[in-house]
Amino acid sequence: MSIPVKHFNFEQTGAPQCTGEPGSMIAVLDACLVNGFNLNPIDSLSVTGGVATVSVSAGHGFTDDMVVLIEGATPTALNGEKRVTNASTTTFDFDATGVADGAATGAISCKTAPAGWEKAFSGTNVAVYRMPAFGSNSHYLRVDDTDPQWARLRGYESMTDVDTGVGPFPTTTQSAGGLYWYKTATSSASYKSKWVIVADDMFMYWLGQEQANGAEHYCYAFGYPVSYRAGDTYHAFVSGERTDPSSAPGISCLAAPNATACRYLSRASTQIGGAEEVRMYGGGVFSSWYIGSASTPFVYPNIADNSLLLASPYMIVEFSTNVIRGEIPGFYMPLHNKALQNRDVVSDIVQLPGRSLLFHYGARSIGSVMIDITGPWR
């Protein structure tokens, strides 16, 4: 069994740190998207009444709602991706409905489950990722992590090695070196960025805090959104900063719906031609600079029903034609002004029963977004 949506952050046990060093972002992407992290040998695993209890006497470091990968257990139904519940320092539970009561056997281990991507190519401080879940036409993301403070990113329709690809998005004309993803507030190897990744096997968000004082934040994405076009095979999406982020960090993040030269699809809805620039629309903010803005008049919680209210979907609009191509998955717009603290998780939203959403300041401290960390997104 696969649990489609996973969330990762810099505070999780065993997670790599993104610092002011070349290659540190790639280490984070490898761990979260491809390999997993925080591998632990399990001392005991037993099932009682459809609930499995794991014991790791040395401590496991997992928290509720994290997704772990269990391997090496007999019965084999206990293996696979499991969502953690009732976590303590040395034990945690997961759902084992249908498994007979008793103790598991084998050399059993657990680790933070990766999102299900693959690393197609690699070089010195450069890596290329793709999403096998989309099939043989899966597009590629090239990450150049040479600079201490930001990486340069570009999507490709296909690649044959770490430096060679066809169908780039954005093209070199649209962005000579690719878009920027911010890594860290300083070039110091000791500074640790407050990064967050939320991903399924076809889409990922890179979130974080740009300045040590918490004044600026970013929200970028890559992957396959939900397309409104039947049979769409060229809707891979990438967003990022259009210029060196040190001058205006966060200005082009996903919370700024009408920003230009910072979001692209691999092709237009016609499925021909090259990269298509896009902008965003949702919740009546097509011309507004930021969603979840501090200038929004609605307070939190909503007094009428003591709730957090959201707008969705957040749609992708082809810039040249105004064709609404689709929507990015698991992404919601809070209708309140600065409803919560950064990285707060809310689980009692009336509009989305059974879902937990992560709150994140979207851009320059005045925009905010919420991302579903439960799923599924599709």
Sketch out the chain's domains with CATH numbers: 37-112 (2.40.30.180), 118-372 (no CATH)
**Length of the chain, in residues:** 378
Handedness of CA 291, 293, 297, 298 (dihedral sign): positive
pTM for the full model? 0.94
What is the rounded distance in angstroms from the CA atom of residue 180 to the CA atom of residue 25?
A: 12
Task: List per-residue pLDDT tens for the chain, 378 residues long.
Answer: 689 999 999 999 999 999 999 999 999 999 999 999 999 999 999 999 999 999 999 999 999 999 999 999 999 999 999 999 999 999 999 999 999 999 999 999 999 999 999 999 999 999 999 999 999 999 999 999 999 989 999 999 999 999 999 999 999 999 999 999 988 877 888 888 889 999 999 999 999 876 655 556 788 999 999 999 999 999 999 999 988 876 666 667 787 777 888 999 999 999 999 999 999 988 655 445 566 666 667 778 888 888 888 888 899 999 999 999 999 999 998 887 666 888 889 988 888 999 999 988 765 555 788 899 999 999
Tokens describing residue 376? 């599924």
Contact criterion met (CB below 8 Å) for 341 and 194 = no
Q: Dihedral (C-alpha) 262, 360, 372, 201: value to the nearest 10 degrees?
A: 50
Cβ(49)–Cβ(96) below 8 Å: no
- What's the burial of 256, exposed, middle or buried (CB within 10 Å: 0-12/13-18/19+)? buried
What per-residue confidence (pLDDT) applies to 254? Answer: 83
| Contacts for 228 with CB less than 8 Å, ≥ 6 apart | 324, 325, 326, 327
- The alpha carbons of the chain give a radius of gyration, in whole angstroms, of 21
Cα–Cα distance between 198 and 221 in angstroms, integer? 10
Residues 6+ apart with CB under 8 A from 308: 300, 301, 302, 334, 336, 339, 346, 349
**Among candidates 327, 369, 371, which has minimal Cα distance to 352?**
371
DSSP assigned state of 53 = E
- Write down the H helix ranges in 145-255: none
Residue 205 one-letter amino acid = Y
Copy the structure tokens of residue 251.
């200005």
Q: What is the pLDDT of residue 334?
A: 83
Residues 324 and 308: their CA atoms lie apart, in Å, by: 27
* Peptide bond before residue 41 is cis, with ω within 30 degrees of 0: no
Cβ-proximal residues to 348 (8 Å cutoff; 6+ apart), any chain? none
pLDDT of residue 12: 97
What pLDDT, on a 0 to 100 scale, did the predictor assign at position 289? 53
Q: Which residues contact 207 (CB under 8 A, 6 or more apart)?
A: 195, 196, 197, 198, 217, 218, 219, 220, 360, 371
Asked if 45 and 23 touch (Cβ cutoff 8 Å), the reply is no
